[in-house]
Amino acid sequence: MLHNKSIDNLLDIKEIYLEPEVRNFKRGLEILEKYPEATLTEVDSHWKIAQLFGFEGSVEDWISNKKNVLILGIKKSLSARLNSRSSNWVAPSQSNGCTMSCSYCYVPRRKGFANPITIFVNIEQICNYLRRHASRQGPKSVPDHIDPNYWVYEIGENGDCSADAAICDNVKDLIALFREVSNGKLTFATKFVNRDLLNYDPQEKTRIRFSLMPHKMSKLVDVRTTPISDRIDVMNDFADAGYEVNVNFAPVIFYDGWLEDWKILFDEMNDKLNEKTKKQLITEIIFLTHNEQLHEVNMNWHPKAEDVLWRPEIQEVKYSQTGGRNVRYKRGFKKDLVDSLVELVEKELPYCPIRYAF
């Protein structure tokens, strides 16, 4: 039972921080009933919990915060944000934060560095908002690179929906909603295999994007995620269960021998994926960006990964909208890297178009 064991390793909720109004929502009550032993602490806002968020004091508690703590809140301002790469819209979040600990993750950049899962319990309001939003768009009359027929809504920008689904039915409810939204489709990327999702019956209206990278690198930087081979192993099952299965090659990390390792990954995909999965496969390719503050935090708990992630001699600084110092591969150098990987994908995975590569 892969999924039960791996979920138990990831999540053992002992403490719940909650906004008091959470008890007014069915989803809030369900979650509280699911963890009757957990210590409850009421907070004014899911966003400002001094014990959890912020830079200081959380490094030693990093993993236990992610494994043992859950935050319950209410998503107050509901809006969908226009997007242009993986989706047409980013849906209002049903959660944020994550129980996994990928060294390069951008989610803690926004929220402070200890960022356990926060679940928003007003899922009915979120679903109603999305239903109205999609209905306002009308039919998608002009196909784009995102989807030929449907407006696509991203629901996993701030966490990992497969892990969230181990806590409650928010993701299940969203998938059920989009069965009925005639002009819309959901999408999220994942690094976690939760086989419960195989029973959600998405009827081809949810696109799941399995994030893949060479095994060797994943073992170093994808901390607490499902091993790459196990992710590839379930892709045919997800296609059979009615998901549209896509992949993300992300983040792509440069190191000596990187392309040889990508070739090994592609060989495994070629061996394991069946014709049905191959036929629907599209990939998105995203090269690494990293962040100076996160680098400094990582140096305290996982310095080995920083040897490959933090490479000032081949990276350049790019300030984010919020003023953070991010780094990415230097422009000309990066173009060569992108071209090399694109060429390899075209050669080794001829059935797999590239939605974008940057």
CB of residue 206 to ligand SF4, shortest distance in Å:
18
Closest separation in Å from C-beta 251 to ligand SF4: 9
Question: Do 305 and 220 form a contact (C-beta atoms < 8 A)?
Answer: yes
Dist CA 295 CA 240 (whole Å): 40
How would you class 233 by CB atoms within 10 Å of its CB: exposed for 0-12, middle for 13-18, buried for 19 or more? middle
Strands 184-190 and 151-154: parallel
Q: How far is the CB of 350 from ligand SF4 (least distance, A)?
A: 29
**147 lines the binding site for ligand SF4 (CB under 6 A):** no
Q: Can residue 168 be called a binding residue for ligand SF4 (CB under 6 A)?
A: no
Q: Which is nearer to ligand SF4, 178 or 192 (CB)?
A: 192
Contacting residue, 100, 167, 234, 337, with ligand SF4 by CB under 6 A:
100
Is 226 a binder of ligand SF4 (CB under 6 A)?
no
Q: Token pair of 347, please? A: 């050669």
Q: Does 102 bind ligand SF4 (CB under 6 A)?
A: yes
CB of 309 to ligand SF4, least distance (A): 13
The phi and psi torsions of 298 (rounded to 5 degrees) equal -60, -35
Please count the residues of the chain.
358
The amino acid occupying position 202 is: P
**Per CB under 6 A, which of residues 51..70 are in contact with ligand SF4?**
none
Write out the E strands in the chain: 15-18, 39-42, 69-73, 81-82, 89-90, 95-96, 118-120, 151-154, 184-190, 206-212, 244-252, 283-287, 289-291, 315-319, 325-329, 354-357
155 near ligand SF4 (CB under 6 A): no
User: Between 181 and 309, whose beta carbon lies closer to ligand SF4?
Assistant: 309
**Least gap, CB of 116 to ligand SF4 (angstroms):** 11
**Does residue 167 belong to the site contacting ligand SF4 (CB under 6 A)?**
no
Task: List the one residue from 133, 191, 205, 334 that touches ligand SF4 (CB under 6 A).
Answer: 191
3 lies in the binding site for ligand SF4 (CB under 6 A): no
CB of 191 to ligand SF4, least distance (A): 4
d(C-alpha 309, C-alpha 304), whole Å:
9
**Judged by CB under 6 A, does residue 250 bind ligand SF4?**
no
Give the Cβ contact number of residue 286 at 10 Å: 17
Interacting residue ranges for ligand SF4, rule: CB under 6 A: 98, 100-102, 105, 107, 159-160, 191, 225
